[in-house]
A and B are shown apart, each in its own frame.
Chain A
Amino acid sequence: MPVSTPVAALRPTELEPAVEALAAQPNLCVLAGGTELMVLANAGRLRPGGFLLIDRIPELRGVWFAEQEVIIGAATTCADLTHPDLRAVLPALAQAARAIGSAALRTRATLGGNLASGKRLGAGPAPLPGRDLLTALIALGAVAVCRTLRDWRQIPVAELYARDGGVQLYPGELITAFRLPLGTGQQGFMKIGTRGGPGRPVLTLALVVDPSTRQVACAVGGHGPVPARVDHAGHWLQAHVDWEAGAIPDPGTYQTFARLVAEGLLAPLTAGPAGASTSRIPEEYRRQAAEVCARRALVRALPPSGWLEQVKQYQIKAEMMRARSAVERAERGLPQTPPVPGPITVPGLGALGARTDLTIPAQGNGGRKP
């Protein structure tokens, strides 16, 4: 092991040393931006033995456009996520990132940090962070890529969490990236907070329309420890949209969809406080907020008619981004391969980055608890 004595702080510039250090000292506190951890430290509720800073690892920060997916490094900041290029392709995620804190907070707050902070396996109660980005990622169908010293693990983001909101990361495990299927249509994110600007969420809602598969995914957060997908509303909507003509014929559809989404909040998911300052929001208010947000998000994503042209524009833009991204990465000397296992196919460059730096142990249960 490269690290033999406990250290106060480590700031590796590559992924491998970071994972090695975490394996040697699983009690190191992983810190990317610090905007959640420092709130606890300032309040005297966190006394880390040491920090593992992952904010200077180029491999973990950035966006890779592959053939069928977008891969986002876990230490990508919220300010990066609001970049116009990404906003054109993943508007829901960009809007969610913009709803996080203030501009000065977003320059440090990271995607992985927003999702990984909070309660850990086996630890007692801790305040649950807002996790606004999780709502968008769940609606987008994102997969988290986690890395231990000997193994990779890829699971849907929603399954990273226990029912009470605890993060189910194994000791020594690091989230490296998120893989998002490349959408083909309109998306939207809405947030009702305790004040107009930054703040803890009362309700977050993400709506993702995929005209190619004719599916509508909607996720609602802020009401419980973990956002939840309201699939019944999406399934119901599927049959009430004229996908060929790009129209919603019955104006009553919007109201019914909104009611179905609000009913999704009735699921018994309130095992813990949503956030420090929103735990006392009356349920009735939250349900009404969900209804209003769902209706507005649907009207914006699927107006009564004429959104086929919009979808076409979106796809042209996504295509352009895919073609441009790899070239730009090469020009700026950024890592070409994202921190995910296996080869990925990049337009214009073909198959890239079959990762050979890792030997998967034969028993296949590398480093995990049984």
Chain B
Amino acid sequence: MSEDFDQYDFLSVESPGEMEIDPLAGSGAFTLPSTPEPVPAPPMPPASGPFATLSVRFAVNGEPVEVPEIWVADSLLFVLRDRLGRTAAKDGCGEGECGACLVLLDGEPVLACLTPALVAEGSVVTTPEAYGEGDEVSAALAAHCGAGCGYCLPGIGLTTRSLLARQPEPSEAAIREALSGHLCRCLPPGHFIDAVDEAAKAVRSE
């Protein structure tokens, strides 16, 4: 059992009984022992008393904000979306794989889901809302990638803007590398490369 299953498989750790209703029962290919051997649950470091909270102050898109009573390990993404209502940065995987939560922290692209909110204390945070819909990058992304669901686009828009700020004429390889941190489930990468290319041309011709 412990060899066939991931050691941290939550089903085998938290509620072994649930798997008794086996969706694949009868197929013979996938049967579980009725009493799975206990797998030690991953240890939870004891919290020291009640959750320690604190307040952070930073600027979002030029507007100073103060958020009281956040937990130390609350992510910047949680604070932006759930406490401040800035929902342009999306909550994707929570593991730094998808890039949907990208924001700029003091001008540097960071993944908001992996940045503790207290790191932003005294910093300037730029969310995708800062750009609205009017600029060249948004227009190019809408023109080329409009067929997708759009969940990844706010992050891709910010990445594109910081890429074009560094390299006004990015090569295809540079575009591919810059966008490699973003996952899109809808469209093939060619659409995004065309979009960034077009945005670069539009920004240059200004």
- Give A contacts to B, CB under 8 Å: 6-9, 11, 27, 31, 33-35, 37-39, 41-43, 45-51, 53, 55, 101-105, 107-108, 123-127, 196-199, 273, 276, 279-280
Contact = CB atoms under 8 A, between A and B. Distances in A.
A49 B44 CA distance: 11
9 contacts: A7-B52, A11-B118, A27-B48, A34-B114, A47-B51, A49-B45, A107-B109, A198-B96, A199-B97
Interface stretch (B27-35, B124-132, B174-182, B197-205): B174-182
A124 B6 CA distance: 16
Contacts of B6: 273, 279-280
B96 A39 contact: yes
A286 B8 CA distance: 22
Contacts of A35: 96, 111, 114
B7 interface: yes
A39 B114 contact: yes
Contact of A49 (B48, B97, B119): B48
B73 A124 contact: no
A51 B73 CA distance: 8
Contacts of A46: 45, 73
B106 to A, nearest CB: 10
A108 B181 CA distance: 14
Given A48-B73, A123-B43, A197-B181, A11 B121 contact: yes
A27 B116 CA distance: 18
A31 B73 CA distance: 10
A110 to B, nearest CB: 12
A280 B3 CA distance: 10
* Residue of B8, B53, B102, B113 most packed against chain A (CB within 10 A): B8
Interface string B107-146: 0111101111011010000000000000000000000000
A10 B6 CA distance: 36
Contacts, number: 132
Contacts of B51: 47
B43 A53 contact: no
B99 interface: yes
A48 B72 contact: yes
Contact of B119 (A39, A55, A279): A55
Nearest to B108: A107
B52 A6 contact: yes
Contact of A45 (B42, B110, B177): B42
A8 B114 contact: no
A103 B116 CA distance: 18
A8 B52 contact: yes
Contacts of A9: 52, 54, 72, 118
Contact of A8 (B54, B180, B181): B54
Contacts of B42: 45, 124-126
B12 interface: no
Contacts of B53: 8
Contacts of A43: 94-95
Given A8-B53, A38-B75, A197-B181, A104 B99 contact: yes
Contacts of B121: 11
Contacts of B49: 6
A298 to B, nearest CB: 25
Contacts of B181: 101-105, 197-198
Contact of B159 (A50, A51, A104, A125): A104
A199 B49 CA distance: 36
A123 to B, nearest CB: 6
B97 A198 contact: yes
Nearest to A34: B116
B75 to A, nearest CB: 6
A47 B44 contact: yes
Interface in B14-57: 40, 42-49, 51-54
Interface in B131-179: 159, 177-178
Contacts of A33: 114
A103 B109 contact: yes
Contacts of B97: 198-199
Given A48-B72, A108-B110, A199-B97, A125 B7 contact: yes
A124 B40 contact: yes
A102 B180 contact: yes
Nearest to B177: A103
A198 B95 CA distance: 12
Given A27-B48, A51-B118, A102-B182, A42 B113 contact: yes
B44 A51 contact: no
Interface string B46-80: 11110111100000000000000000110100000
